[in-house]
Structure 1
Amino acid sequence: MAAKVLAPIIENEASTGRLVLVCEHASNAFPAPWGDLGLTAEQRRAHIAWDPGALAVARGLARRLDAVLIHAPATRLIYDLNRAPDMLGAMPARSEIHDIPGNAAISATERLARTEALYLPWANGLHNLIARRIALGLAPVLVTIHSFTPIYHGRPRSVEFGVIHDADATLAVAIHDAARRLTRLNAELNAPYSAADDVTHTLRVQATPYGLPNAMLEIRNDLIADDAAADQMAATLAPVINMGLTEIQKQAKAS
Protein backbone atom coordinates (compact mmCIF):
# COMPACT_ATOMS: atom_id res chain seq x y z
CA MET A 1 0.00 0.00 0.00
CA ALA A 2 1.45 3.36 -1.03
CA ALA A 3 1.90 6.03 1.59
CA LYS A 4 -0.32 9.04 1.12
CA VAL A 5 1.18 12.50 1.18
CA LEU A 6 0.95 14.11 4.62
CA ALA A 7 1.05 17.87 4.23
CA PRO A 8 2.29 20.18 6.98
CA ILE A 9 -0.32 21.94 9.10
CA ILE A 10 -0.37 25.73 8.90
CA GLU A 11 -2.15 27.95 11.44
CA ASN A 12 -2.75 31.71 11.38
CA GLU A 13 -1.57 31.96 7.78
CA ALA A 14 -3.32 35.34 7.43
CA SER A 15 -0.92 36.83 9.97
CA THR A 16 0.85 39.99 8.84
CA GLY A 17 3.59 39.69 11.47
CA ARG A 18 7.20 38.93 10.56
CA LEU A 19 7.50 35.81 12.67
CA VAL A 20 7.28 32.33 11.13
CA LEU A 21 7.15 29.70 13.88
CA VAL A 22 8.14 26.15 12.96
CA CYS A 23 7.50 22.99 15.01
CA GLU A 24 9.07 20.02 13.22
CA HIS A 25 8.48 17.59 16.11
CA ALA A 26 4.95 18.61 17.03
CA SER A 27 3.24 15.22 16.65
CA ASN A 28 3.50 11.69 17.95
CA ALA A 29 0.96 10.34 15.45
CA PHE A 30 1.86 7.02 13.81
CA PRO A 31 -0.32 6.95 10.68
CA ALA A 32 -0.76 4.15 8.15
CA PRO A 33 0.94 2.50 6.40
CA TRP A 34 3.83 2.66 8.89
CA GLY A 35 1.93 1.75 12.02
CA ASP A 36 3.64 1.74 15.40
CA LEU A 37 7.15 0.81 14.08
CA GLY A 38 7.18 -1.99 16.67
CA LEU A 39 7.11 0.41 19.62
CA THR A 40 5.04 0.16 22.80
CA ALA A 41 2.36 2.69 23.65
CA GLU A 42 4.67 4.12 26.33
CA GLN A 43 7.48 4.60 23.81
CA ARG A 44 5.10 6.29 21.36
CA ARG A 45 4.21 8.81 24.06
CA ALA A 46 7.83 9.42 25.06
CA HIS A 47 10.15 12.17 23.87
CA ILE A 48 11.77 9.85 21.34
CA ALA A 49 8.60 10.14 19.24
CA TRP A 50 8.10 13.92 19.43
CA ASP A 51 8.83 17.07 21.44
CA PRO A 52 6.23 17.08 24.23
CA GLY A 53 4.79 20.52 24.90
CA ALA A 54 6.50 22.18 21.93
CA LEU A 55 3.34 22.61 19.86
CA ALA A 56 1.40 24.06 22.79
CA VAL A 57 4.18 26.60 23.39
CA ALA A 58 4.33 27.41 19.67
CA ARG A 59 0.58 28.00 19.56
CA GLY A 60 0.78 30.25 22.60
CA LEU A 61 3.57 32.25 20.97
CA ALA A 62 1.70 32.48 17.65
CA ARG A 63 -1.32 33.85 19.46
CA ARG A 64 0.65 36.45 21.40
CA LEU A 65 3.00 37.51 18.61
CA ASP A 66 0.61 37.33 15.64
CA ALA A 67 2.84 34.73 14.01
CA VAL A 68 2.14 32.12 11.38
CA LEU A 69 2.80 28.59 12.62
CA ILE A 70 3.69 25.50 10.59
CA HIS A 71 3.92 22.10 12.25
CA ALA A 72 4.43 18.42 11.51
CA PRO A 73 1.59 15.93 10.95
CA ALA A 74 3.40 12.78 12.16
CA THR A 75 6.06 11.46 14.51
CA ARG A 76 9.69 12.20 13.85
CA LEU A 77 10.44 8.46 14.06
CA ILE A 78 8.80 7.90 10.68
CA TYR A 79 10.65 10.90 9.29
CA ASP A 80 12.42 13.62 11.27
CA LEU A 81 11.59 16.80 9.35
CA ASN A 82 14.61 18.59 10.79
CA ARG A 83 16.95 16.17 9.01
CA ALA A 84 18.00 15.87 5.36
CA PRO A 85 17.14 12.60 3.55
CA ASP A 86 20.77 11.42 3.64
CA MET A 87 21.08 11.76 7.43
CA LEU A 88 20.79 8.59 9.52
CA GLY A 89 18.69 10.55 12.00
CA ALA A 90 15.99 11.19 9.41
CA MET A 91 14.66 7.65 9.99
CA PRO A 92 16.60 6.49 13.05
CA ALA A 93 17.11 2.83 13.90
CA ARG A 94 17.84 3.87 17.49
CA SER A 95 16.85 6.92 19.53
CA GLU A 96 18.68 7.48 22.81
CA ILE A 97 18.38 4.04 24.54
CA HIS A 98 15.48 2.80 22.39
CA ASP A 99 15.69 0.57 19.34
CA ILE A 100 13.13 1.38 16.63
CA PRO A 101 12.28 -2.02 15.07
CA GLY A 102 10.36 -0.56 12.14
CA ASN A 103 13.44 1.44 11.14
CA ALA A 104 16.01 -1.33 11.56
CA ALA A 105 16.30 -2.27 7.89
CA ILE A 106 14.75 0.39 5.67
CA SER A 107 15.21 -0.21 1.95
CA ALA A 108 16.08 2.59 -0.45
CA THR A 109 12.56 2.30 -1.87
CA GLU A 110 11.04 2.77 1.59
CA ARG A 111 13.32 5.71 2.36
CA LEU A 112 12.15 7.35 -0.85
CA ALA A 113 8.50 6.63 -0.03
CA ARG A 114 8.81 8.28 3.39
CA THR A 115 10.70 11.21 1.90
CA GLU A 116 7.99 11.75 -0.71
CA ALA A 117 5.17 11.33 1.81
CA LEU A 118 6.54 13.55 4.57
CA TYR A 119 9.76 15.45 3.93
CA LEU A 120 9.11 16.85 0.45
CA PRO A 121 5.61 18.19 1.28
CA TRP A 122 7.07 19.72 4.44
CA ALA A 123 10.10 21.29 2.78
CA ASN A 124 8.06 22.61 -0.14
CA GLY A 125 5.25 23.83 2.11
CA LEU A 126 7.61 25.77 4.36
CA HIS A 127 9.55 27.13 1.39
CA ASN A 128 6.34 28.31 -0.27
CA LEU A 129 5.07 29.87 2.96
CA ILE A 130 8.28 31.85 3.36
CA ALA A 131 8.41 32.86 -0.31
CA ARG A 132 4.85 34.19 -0.22
CA ARG A 133 5.62 36.27 2.84
CA ILE A 134 8.77 37.65 1.24
CA ALA A 135 6.69 38.59 -1.81
CA LEU A 136 4.24 40.42 0.46
CA GLY A 137 7.10 42.43 1.97
CA LEU A 138 6.70 40.90 5.43
CA ALA A 139 10.48 40.35 5.95
CA PRO A 140 10.13 36.91 7.62
CA VAL A 141 11.99 35.83 10.74
CA LEU A 142 12.23 32.05 11.22
CA VAL A 143 12.11 30.57 14.73
CA THR A 144 11.83 26.84 15.37
CA ILE A 145 10.34 25.53 18.62
CA HIS A 146 11.54 22.33 20.29
CA SER A 147 11.60 20.64 23.69
CA PHE A 148 14.17 18.34 25.25
CA THR A 149 14.20 15.75 28.00
CA PRO A 150 15.59 16.76 31.43
CA ILE A 151 17.56 13.49 31.65
CA TYR A 152 19.55 12.23 28.67
CA HIS A 153 21.47 8.93 28.79
CA GLY A 154 21.07 9.00 32.56
CA ARG A 155 22.52 12.48 33.00
CA PRO A 156 20.41 15.40 34.27
CA ARG A 157 20.45 18.64 32.31
CA SER A 158 20.50 21.92 34.20
CA VAL A 159 19.77 24.11 31.18
CA GLU A 160 16.10 25.09 30.96
CA PHE A 161 16.03 27.21 27.82
CA GLY A 162 18.48 26.74 24.98
CA VAL A 163 18.94 29.05 22.01
CA ILE A 164 20.75 27.57 19.04
CA HIS A 165 22.08 29.14 15.88
CA ASP A 166 23.52 27.98 12.60
CA ALA A 167 25.69 30.28 10.44
CA ASP A 168 24.04 33.51 11.60
CA ALA A 169 24.13 33.94 15.39
CA THR A 170 22.57 37.40 15.50
CA LEU A 171 19.00 36.57 16.50
CA ALA A 172 19.97 33.64 18.72
CA VAL A 173 22.34 35.82 20.74
CA ALA A 174 19.72 38.57 21.04
CA ILE A 175 17.06 36.12 22.27
CA HIS A 176 19.51 34.50 24.70
CA ASP A 177 20.49 37.87 26.14
CA ALA A 178 16.83 38.87 26.43
CA ALA A 179 16.02 35.64 28.29
CA ARG A 180 18.82 36.38 30.76
CA ARG A 181 17.42 39.88 31.32
CA LEU A 182 13.68 39.17 31.43
CA THR A 183 13.33 35.68 32.95
CA ARG A 184 14.66 33.45 35.69
CA LEU A 185 15.21 30.59 33.27
CA ASN A 186 18.64 29.02 33.13
CA ALA A 187 19.23 30.08 29.52
CA GLU A 188 22.25 28.91 27.55
CA LEU A 189 23.48 29.49 24.02
CA ASN A 190 23.96 26.37 21.86
CA ALA A 191 22.70 24.00 24.54
CA PRO A 192 21.70 21.24 24.98
CA TYR A 193 22.59 20.92 21.29
CA SER A 194 24.43 22.96 18.69
CA ALA A 195 24.75 23.06 14.91
CA ALA A 196 27.60 20.54 15.27
CA ASP A 197 24.94 17.97 16.27
CA ASP A 198 23.17 18.39 12.90
CA VAL A 199 20.04 19.89 14.49
CA THR A 200 19.83 23.08 12.42
CA HIS A 201 18.74 21.61 9.07
CA THR A 202 15.59 23.75 8.87
CA LEU A 203 17.49 26.96 9.58
CA ARG A 204 20.22 26.04 7.11
CA VAL A 205 17.85 25.17 4.26
CA GLN A 206 14.95 27.54 4.76
CA ALA A 207 16.42 30.71 6.30
CA THR A 208 20.10 31.00 5.38
CA PRO A 209 19.63 31.05 1.57
CA TYR A 210 17.31 34.07 1.92
CA GLY A 211 19.44 35.77 4.57
CA LEU A 212 16.53 35.63 7.04
CA PRO A 213 17.09 36.13 10.78
CA ASN A 214 16.64 32.76 12.46
CA ALA A 215 17.03 30.81 15.69
CA MET A 216 16.14 27.48 17.22
CA LEU A 217 14.57 27.44 20.69
CA GLU A 218 14.80 24.42 23.01
CA ILE A 219 12.68 24.22 26.20
CA ARG A 220 13.16 21.54 28.85
CA ASN A 221 10.01 19.49 28.67
CA ASP A 222 9.39 19.12 32.41
CA LEU A 223 8.68 22.88 32.40
CA ILE A 224 5.90 22.50 29.81
CA ALA A 225 4.41 19.19 30.91
CA ASP A 226 0.77 20.26 30.52
CA ASP A 227 -1.17 22.84 28.53
CA ALA A 228 -1.27 25.35 31.39
CA ALA A 229 2.50 25.18 31.91
CA ALA A 230 3.11 25.43 28.16
CA ASP A 231 0.91 28.49 27.90
CA GLN A 232 2.70 30.11 30.82
CA MET A 233 6.02 29.42 29.10
CA ALA A 234 4.68 31.06 25.94
CA ALA A 235 3.70 34.08 28.03
CA THR A 236 7.24 34.16 29.45
CA LEU A 237 8.98 33.80 26.10
CA ALA A 238 6.83 36.15 24.00
CA PRO A 239 8.46 39.33 25.40
CA VAL A 240 11.86 37.63 25.15
CA ILE A 241 11.39 37.04 21.43
CA ASN A 242 10.04 40.56 20.98
CA MET A 243 13.09 42.02 22.68
CA GLY A 244 15.34 39.90 20.49
CA LEU A 245 13.59 41.13 17.36
CA THR A 246 13.84 44.73 18.52
CA GLU A 247 17.57 44.32 19.18
CA ILE A 248 18.36 42.94 15.74
CA GLN A 249 16.31 45.74 14.15
CA LYS A 250 18.43 48.26 16.05
CA GLN A 251 21.60 46.55 14.89
CA ALA A 252 20.39 46.54 11.28
CA LYS A 253 19.66 50.28 11.39
CA ALA A 254 23.02 51.03 12.97
CA SER A 255 25.01 49.07 10.37
Structure 2
Amino acid sequence: MSEGPGGDRLNAVDVMNETGRGGVLLICEHASAEIPARFGDLGLTAEARVSHAAWDPGARDLAVVLSAALDAPMVAGAVSRLVYDCNRPPEAPGAMPARSEVFDVPGNAGLTEMQKAERVEMVYRPFHAAVAARLDEARAVVTVHSFTPVFHGAKRDTEIGLLHDSDARLVDLMLPHAPKGRVVHRNRPYGPEDGVTHTLKTHALYRGLPNVMIEVRNDLLTTPEDIRTVARDLMSMLTPALEATCPAS
Protein backbone atom coordinates (compact mmCIF):
# COMPACT_ATOMS: atom_id res chain seq x y z
CA MET A 1 0.00 0.00 0.00
CA SER A 2 1.16 3.55 -0.64
CA GLU A 3 0.09 6.80 0.96
CA GLY A 4 -1.47 9.29 -1.44
CA PRO A 5 -1.95 13.03 -1.17
CA GLY A 6 -4.57 13.92 1.39
CA GLY A 7 -3.97 10.73 3.35
CA ASP A 8 -5.91 8.39 1.04
CA ARG A 9 -4.34 5.03 0.41
CA LEU A 10 -3.82 3.36 -2.93
CA ASN A 11 -3.22 -0.34 -3.36
CA ALA A 12 -0.43 -0.40 -5.93
CA VAL A 13 0.78 -3.97 -5.54
CA ASP A 14 -0.46 -7.44 -4.62
CA VAL A 15 1.87 -10.10 -3.25
CA MET A 16 0.79 -13.73 -3.39
CA ASN A 17 2.27 -17.01 -2.17
CA GLU A 18 4.65 -15.04 0.06
CA THR A 19 5.94 -18.20 1.72
CA GLY A 20 6.87 -19.87 -1.58
CA ARG A 21 10.30 -21.48 -1.36
CA GLY A 22 10.85 -22.60 -4.95
CA GLY A 23 13.64 -20.08 -5.55
CA VAL A 24 11.92 -18.16 -8.37
CA LEU A 25 10.41 -14.71 -8.00
CA LEU A 26 7.44 -14.24 -10.34
CA ILE A 27 6.46 -10.71 -11.40
CA CYS A 28 3.36 -9.59 -13.30
CA GLU A 29 3.56 -5.83 -13.86
CA HIS A 30 0.39 -5.48 -15.95
CA ALA A 31 -1.91 -7.74 -13.92
CA SER A 32 -4.74 -5.25 -13.40
CA ALA A 33 -6.94 -2.84 -15.38
CA GLU A 34 -7.96 -1.06 -12.16
CA ILE A 35 -8.02 2.74 -12.29
CA PRO A 36 -8.20 4.16 -8.73
CA ALA A 37 -11.10 6.55 -8.14
CA ARG A 38 -8.79 9.51 -7.59
CA PHE A 39 -7.91 9.38 -11.32
CA GLY A 40 -11.51 9.15 -12.54
CA ASP A 41 -11.56 7.11 -15.74
CA LEU A 42 -8.61 8.96 -17.32
CA GLY A 43 -11.08 10.05 -20.00
CA LEU A 44 -11.01 6.56 -21.51
CA THR A 45 -13.81 4.87 -23.39
CA ALA A 46 -15.32 1.72 -21.92
CA GLU A 47 -13.56 -0.26 -24.66
CA ALA A 48 -10.18 1.20 -23.80
CA ARG A 49 -10.58 0.54 -20.07
CA VAL A 50 -10.76 -3.23 -20.60
CA SER A 51 -8.42 -3.46 -23.60
CA HIS A 52 -4.82 -4.66 -23.78
CA ALA A 53 -3.80 -1.00 -23.58
CA ALA A 54 -4.96 -0.97 -19.95
CA TRP A 55 -3.52 -4.33 -18.85
CA ASP A 56 -2.32 -7.76 -20.01
CA PRO A 57 -5.44 -9.97 -20.26
CA GLY A 58 -4.80 -13.46 -18.91
CA ALA A 59 -1.34 -12.68 -17.57
CA ARG A 60 -2.29 -12.59 -13.91
CA ASP A 61 -4.23 -15.87 -14.08
CA LEU A 62 -1.31 -17.50 -15.87
CA ALA A 63 1.16 -16.17 -13.31
CA VAL A 64 -0.99 -17.54 -10.47
CA VAL A 65 -0.85 -21.04 -11.99
CA LEU A 66 2.92 -20.75 -12.49
CA SER A 67 3.31 -19.50 -8.92
CA ALA A 68 1.70 -22.67 -7.63
CA ALA A 69 3.68 -24.92 -9.96
CA LEU A 70 7.00 -23.29 -9.06
CA ASP A 71 6.13 -22.64 -5.38
CA ALA A 72 7.15 -19.08 -6.17
CA PRO A 73 6.22 -15.78 -4.52
CA MET A 74 4.44 -13.50 -6.98
CA VAL A 75 4.43 -9.70 -7.11
CA ALA A 76 1.58 -8.30 -9.22
CA GLY A 77 0.62 -4.78 -10.19
CA ALA A 78 -2.76 -3.71 -8.81
CA VAL A 79 -3.17 -0.57 -10.95
CA SER A 80 -3.67 -0.17 -14.70
CA ARG A 81 -0.54 0.52 -16.68
CA LEU A 82 -2.31 3.57 -18.08
CA VAL A 83 -2.05 5.14 -14.62
CA TYR A 84 1.60 4.08 -14.45
CA ASP A 85 3.40 1.34 -16.37
CA CYS A 86 5.57 -0.37 -13.75
CA ASN A 87 7.78 -1.86 -16.47
CA ARG A 88 8.97 1.64 -17.43
CA PRO A 89 11.26 4.01 -15.52
CA PRO A 90 9.84 7.41 -14.52
CA GLU A 91 11.68 9.22 -17.30
CA ALA A 92 10.28 6.99 -20.07
CA PRO A 93 7.59 8.55 -22.31
CA GLY A 94 5.57 5.32 -22.03
CA ALA A 95 5.40 5.37 -18.24
CA MET A 96 2.26 7.55 -18.27
CA PRO A 97 1.29 7.64 -21.95
CA ALA A 98 -1.10 10.16 -23.47
CA ARG A 99 -1.74 7.61 -26.22
CA SER A 100 -1.47 3.83 -26.04
CA GLU A 101 -1.80 1.70 -29.15
CA VAL A 102 -5.00 3.02 -30.80
CA PHE A 103 -6.39 4.77 -27.71
CA ASP A 104 -5.98 8.34 -26.54
CA VAL A 105 -5.60 8.74 -22.77
CA PRO A 106 -6.92 12.26 -22.06
CA GLY A 107 -6.22 11.96 -18.33
CA ASN A 108 -2.51 11.60 -19.08
CA ALA A 109 -2.29 14.56 -21.46
CA GLY A 110 -0.36 17.54 -20.15
CA LEU A 111 0.57 16.04 -16.79
CA THR A 112 2.63 18.41 -14.66
CA GLU A 113 5.92 17.30 -13.16
CA MET A 114 4.21 17.25 -9.75
CA GLN A 115 1.42 15.01 -11.05
CA LYS A 116 3.95 12.65 -12.59
CA ALA A 117 5.96 12.58 -9.37
CA GLU A 118 2.80 11.71 -7.40
CA ARG A 119 2.18 8.68 -9.59
CA VAL A 120 5.79 7.58 -9.29
CA GLU A 121 5.52 7.71 -5.49
CA MET A 122 2.06 6.11 -5.36
CA VAL A 123 2.52 3.30 -7.90
CA TYR A 124 6.03 2.77 -9.26
CA ARG A 125 8.06 2.94 -6.07
CA PRO A 126 5.82 0.66 -3.93
CA PHE A 127 5.71 -1.92 -6.72
CA HIS A 128 9.46 -2.07 -7.18
CA ALA A 129 10.06 -1.96 -3.44
CA ALA A 130 7.90 -5.10 -3.14
CA VAL A 131 10.02 -6.79 -5.82
CA ALA A 132 13.32 -5.74 -4.25
CA ALA A 133 12.23 -6.95 -0.83
CA ARG A 134 11.94 -10.52 -2.12
CA LEU A 135 15.12 -10.81 -4.16
CA ASP A 136 17.36 -12.11 -1.37
CA GLU A 137 15.50 -15.44 -1.50
CA ALA A 138 15.40 -15.62 -5.31
CA ARG A 139 17.64 -17.69 -7.56
CA ALA A 140 15.88 -16.51 -10.75
CA VAL A 141 13.39 -13.87 -11.88
CA VAL A 142 10.49 -14.58 -14.26
CA THR A 143 8.09 -11.88 -15.47
CA VAL A 144 4.76 -12.75 -17.10
CA HIS A 145 2.97 -10.74 -19.81
CA SER A 146 0.49 -11.17 -22.66
CA PHE A 147 0.27 -9.54 -26.08
CA THR A 148 -2.37 -8.98 -28.74
CA PRO A 149 -2.79 -11.31 -31.76
CA VAL A 150 -3.07 -8.26 -34.05
CA PHE A 151 -1.01 -5.09 -33.62
CA HIS A 152 -1.71 -2.06 -35.83
CA GLY A 153 -3.39 -4.35 -38.34
CA ALA A 154 -0.58 -6.91 -38.53
CA LYS A 155 -1.19 -10.50 -37.37
CA ARG A 156 1.41 -12.03 -35.09
CA ASP A 157 2.39 -15.66 -35.55
CA THR A 158 4.38 -15.84 -32.30
CA GLU A 159 2.50 -17.73 -29.58
CA ILE A 160 5.07 -17.50 -26.80
CA GLY A 161 7.89 -14.98 -26.68
CA LEU A 162 10.93 -15.52 -24.45
CA LEU A 163 12.52 -12.12 -23.95
CA HIS A 164 15.86 -11.19 -22.44
CA ASP A 165 18.26 -8.30 -22.22
CA SER A 166 22.01 -8.90 -21.93
CA ASP A 167 21.61 -12.13 -19.94
CA ALA A 168 20.31 -14.88 -22.24
CA ARG A 169 21.19 -17.87 -20.04
CA LEU A 170 17.65 -18.89 -19.18
CA VAL A 171 16.22 -18.30 -22.64
CA ASP A 172 19.08 -20.21 -24.28
CA LEU A 173 18.20 -23.23 -22.16
CA MET A 174 14.42 -22.89 -22.53
CA LEU A 175 14.23 -22.71 -26.32
CA PRO A 176 15.46 -26.30 -27.03
CA HIS A 177 12.57 -27.56 -24.87
CA ALA A 178 9.84 -25.65 -26.73
CA PRO A 179 6.85 -28.00 -27.09
CA LYS A 180 6.26 -29.41 -30.53
CA GLY A 181 3.64 -27.39 -32.37
CA ARG A 182 4.12 -24.26 -30.26
CA VAL A 183 5.44 -21.18 -32.06
CA VAL A 184 8.07 -19.94 -29.61
CA HIS A 185 10.43 -17.09 -30.48
CA ARG A 186 13.30 -15.24 -28.86
CA ASN A 187 12.73 -11.50 -28.28
CA ARG A 188 9.45 -11.40 -30.15
CA PRO A 189 7.00 -9.71 -30.40
CA TYR A 190 9.18 -7.27 -28.44
CA GLY A 191 12.82 -7.02 -27.52
CA PRO A 192 15.13 -4.90 -25.38
CA GLU A 193 15.17 -2.23 -28.08
CA ASP A 194 11.49 -1.61 -27.30
CA GLY A 195 12.27 -0.70 -23.70
CA VAL A 196 10.40 -3.69 -22.24
CA THR A 197 13.20 -5.09 -20.06
CA HIS A 198 13.19 -2.41 -17.34
CA THR A 199 12.17 -4.78 -14.55
CA LEU A 200 14.72 -7.38 -15.63
CA LYS A 201 17.51 -4.82 -15.77
CA THR A 202 16.58 -3.14 -12.50
CA HIS A 203 16.33 -6.30 -10.41
CA ALA A 204 17.69 -9.42 -12.10
CA LEU A 205 20.65 -8.12 -14.12
CA TYR A 206 21.72 -5.94 -11.21
CA ARG A 207 22.07 -9.04 -9.03
CA GLY A 208 23.27 -11.43 -11.71
CA LEU A 209 20.12 -13.56 -11.44
CA PRO A 210 19.03 -15.70 -14.42
CA ASN A 211 15.88 -14.18 -15.84
CA VAL A 212 13.26 -14.25 -18.57
CA MET A 213 10.31 -12.12 -19.61
CA ILE A 214 7.54 -14.39 -20.87
CA GLU A 215 5.04 -13.00 -23.40
CA VAL A 216 2.00 -15.13 -24.34
CA ARG A 217 -0.45 -14.22 -27.10
CA ASN A 218 -3.64 -13.39 -25.26
CA ASP A 219 -6.00 -15.38 -27.48
CA LEU A 220 -4.32 -18.44 -25.93
CA LEU A 221 -5.37 -17.35 -22.44
CA THR A 222 -9.13 -16.99 -22.74
CA THR A 223 -10.29 -19.95 -20.59
CA PRO A 224 -8.97 -21.67 -17.44
CA GLU A 225 -8.13 -24.76 -19.50
CA ASP A 226 -6.23 -22.64 -22.05
CA ILE A 227 -4.25 -21.10 -19.21
CA ARG A 228 -3.43 -24.48 -17.67
CA THR A 229 -2.28 -25.75 -21.07
CA VAL A 230 0.02 -22.77 -21.63
CA ALA A 231 1.34 -23.11 -18.07
CA ARG A 232 2.22 -26.76 -18.70
CA ASP A 233 4.05 -25.80 -21.89
CA LEU A 234 5.96 -23.07 -20.06
CA MET A 235 6.88 -25.42 -17.22
CA SER A 236 8.25 -27.92 -19.74
CA MET A 237 10.71 -25.21 -20.79
CA LEU A 238 11.31 -23.52 -17.44
CA THR A 239 11.94 -26.61 -15.33
CA PRO A 240 15.05 -27.93 -17.11
CA ALA A 241 16.38 -24.42 -17.66
CA LEU A 242 16.08 -23.53 -13.99
CA GLU A 243 17.64 -26.83 -12.94
CA ALA A 244 20.62 -26.10 -15.19
CA THR A 245 21.17 -22.45 -14.28
CA CYS A 246 20.22 -22.28 -10.61
CA PRO A 247 19.82 -25.72 -9.04
CA ALA A 248 18.34 -25.85 -5.55
CA SER A 249 21.03 -26.02 -2.88
User: Residue 105 of structure 1 aligns with which residue?
Assistant: 110
Q: 1:204 aligns with which of 201, 204, 223?
A: 201
Percent sequence identity is: 41
The CA deviation string for residues 113-169 of structure 1, in whole angstroms up to 9 with x for no partner, is 0000000101111101113x1xxxxx4210000000000000000010000101101
Return the alpha-carbon distance in structure 2 between the equivalents of residues 58 and 69 of structure 1: 8
Q: Does 1:130 align with 2:135?
A: yes
User: Residue 171 of structure 1 aligns with which residue?
Assistant: 170
Return the alpha-carbon distance in structure 2 between the equivalents of residues 83 and 4 of structure 1: 23
Return the alpha-carbon distance in structure 1 between the equivalents of residues 180 and 16 of structure 2: 28
Whether the 8 Å CA contact 1:56–1:231 is kept in 2: the answer is: no
User: Residue 210 of structure 2 aligns with which residue?
Assistant: 213
Return the alpha-carbon distance in structure 1 between the equivalents of residues 11 and 87 of structure 2: 16
Q: 1:41 aligns with which of 31, 46, 68?
A: 46
Q: Which has the higher helix share?
A: 1
State the AA in 1 paired with 2:215: E
RMSD: 1.4
Choose 238-247 or 8-17, whichever is displaced more: 238-247
- TM, length-normalised to structure 2: 0.93
Return the alpha-carbon distance in structure 1 between the equivalents of residues 208 and 26 of structure 2: 17
Choose 232-241 or 95-104, whichever is displaced more: 232-241
Whether the 8 Å CA contact 1:5–1:116 is kept in 2: the answer is: no
Whether the 8 Å CA contact 1:94–1:100 is kept in 2: the answer is: yes
State the AA in 2 paired with 1:82: N
5 Å-filtered alignment, 1:188-199, equals: 188-199=185-196
The CA deviation string for residues 54-94 of structure 1, in whole angstroms up to 9 with x for no partner, is 01110111111111111001100000000000001000111
State the AA in 2 paired with 1:27: S
Return the alpha-carbon distance in structure 2 between the equivalents of residues 20 and 184 of structure 1: 28
Q: Does 1:75 align with 2:74?
A: no
State the AA in 1 paired with 2:58: G
5 Å-filtered alignment, 1:1-255, equals: 2=5, 4-131=9-136, 133=137, 139-179=138-178, 182-249=179-246
Whether the 8 Å CA contact 1:143–1:215 is kept in 2: the answer is: yes
Return the alpha-carbon distance in structure 2 between the equivalents of residues 8 and 100 of structure 1: 22
Whether the 8 Å CA contact 2:140–2:246 is kept in 1: the answer is: no
* Count of aligned pairs: 242
Secondary structure in structure 2 of the residue aligned to 1:130? coil
Gaps of 5+ in 1: 134-138, 251-255
Whether the 8 Å CA contact 2:13–2:79 is kept in 1: the answer is: no
Return the alpha-carbon distance in structure 2 between the equivalents of residues 99 and 39 of structure 1: 7
Return the alpha-carbon distance in structure 2 between the equivalents of residues 35 and 231 of structure 1: 35
Per-residue deviation, 1:245: 1.1
State the AA in 2 paired with 1:211: G
Return the alpha-carbon distance in structure 1 between the equivalents of residues 162 and 197 of structure 2: 11
User: Residue 136 of structure 1 aligns with which residue?
Assistant: none
- TM, length-normalised to structure 1: 0.91
Whether the 8 Å CA contact 1:183–1:236 is kept in 2: the answer is: no
Whether the 8 Å CA contact 1:5–1:121 is kept in 2: the answer is: no
Return the alpha-carbon distance in structure 2 between the equivalents of residues 147 and 9 of structure 1: 18
Return the alpha-carbon distance in structure 2 between the equivalents of residues 227 and 29 of structure 1: 21
Return the alpha-carbon distance in structure 1 between the equivalents of residues 95 and 127 of structure 2: 13
